[in-house]
Amino acid sequence: MKSPESSMQLTKDKEPKLLFKVTLMRHEKSLYKNIGHDLTSKGIEKATEIGKKLRKEGVINDEDDIYLIHSPQARAKGTLDFVAQGANLGEIPKRSIDQLRMSDMIDFDAFLKRMNELGGDGELIAKDHYTHPMHSKGSEVIEPHESKKKRLYQTCEYLIRWFEHHPSQGATPHVIAVSHFEIITHLIDDVFGIKNIGRYSAPRHGEAVFIEAHESGKKNEMLLKVTYEGKTKEVCFDRENRSIKVK
């Protein structure tokens, strides 16, 4: 009979099982009219190029079981449509996930006034996202950070449960998801720290965070290997509290 210590060592040394992969990207450049694909001509071109690049580099491949999800906003679905077209994914169904939506507006006029003060500068808007009190708890202007982060990690838990109850038959599930910078940035901040990235505007249009979700051997914990801008870090996803724990 193996001792508890030896069993723990076997568990520790065993390669953790890969449960699924996620490519989480920001939508491409948009017209912000929420009509049709809602992308500029440059946005269409770049989204298509992203799909081709992901296919060429093997990030998207025919061995994986591909799932396509997006924010309800037209620019997110439009981006995913052209990425899928560029990657030659055919007619894979796409699903809208409400939790991946953009920030909820409480007082749109006040928010628009603030955006006008910033002159539409993307870098300033992104920095404002982390430094202006209107984004904090109890905001009367826009959905606060903690709410958006909660939605993001609800989606993470949803995916874990889905793949637990629908195990793959050999192929690795690969979720390609399109959302918004103010949602994705919280994952980047929790894993790497925005200040360590060196700029507030992460991610830019079309940029992606690559995630591998592994079983950790613990019921309420998932091991995530997160890659962004060439940097990779392993963290734990606390399923009970739905939060990121840096190892």
pLDDT band of residue 194 (cuts 50, 70, 90) is: confident
Tens of pLDDT, residue by residue over 110-157, are 999 999 999 978 778 888 888 889 888 888 999 999 999 999 999 999
Same domain, 137 and 150: no
User: Looking at residue 1, what is its pLDDT?
Assistant: 42
pLDDT band of residue 13 (cuts 50, 70, 90) is: low
Average pLDDT of the chain, as a whole number: 90
Same domain, 83 and 118: no
Among residues 238, 239, 236, which one has the least CA distance to residue 225? 236
Domain that holds residue 86: 16-101+145-246
Same domain, 114 and 234: no
Specify the DSSP class assigned to residue 202: P
Dist. CA 144–CA 103, nearest whole Å: 8
Same domain, 81 and 191: yes
pTM value surpassing 0.85: yes
Please give the tally of structural domains in the chain: 2
Question: Is residue 203 reached through a cis peptide bond, with omega within 30 degrees of 0 on the bond before it?
Answer: yes
Query: Would 5 be classed as within a structural domain?
Result: no
Query: Would 3 be classed as within a structural domain?
Result: no
Dist. CA 169–CA 186, nearest whole Å: 33
Q: What is the CATH number of the domain that holds 76?
A: 3.40.50.1240
Same domain, 95 and 115: no
Dist. CA 96–CA 101, nearest whole Å: 9
Dist. CA 86–CA 78, nearest whole Å: 12
Average of pLDDT values for 233-247? 94
Dist. CA 46–CA 28, nearest whole Å: 7
137: tokens are 């708890």
Same domain, 50 and 93: yes
pLDDT band of residue 203 (cuts 50, 70, 90) is: confident
Query: Would 128 be classed as within a structural domain?
Result: yes
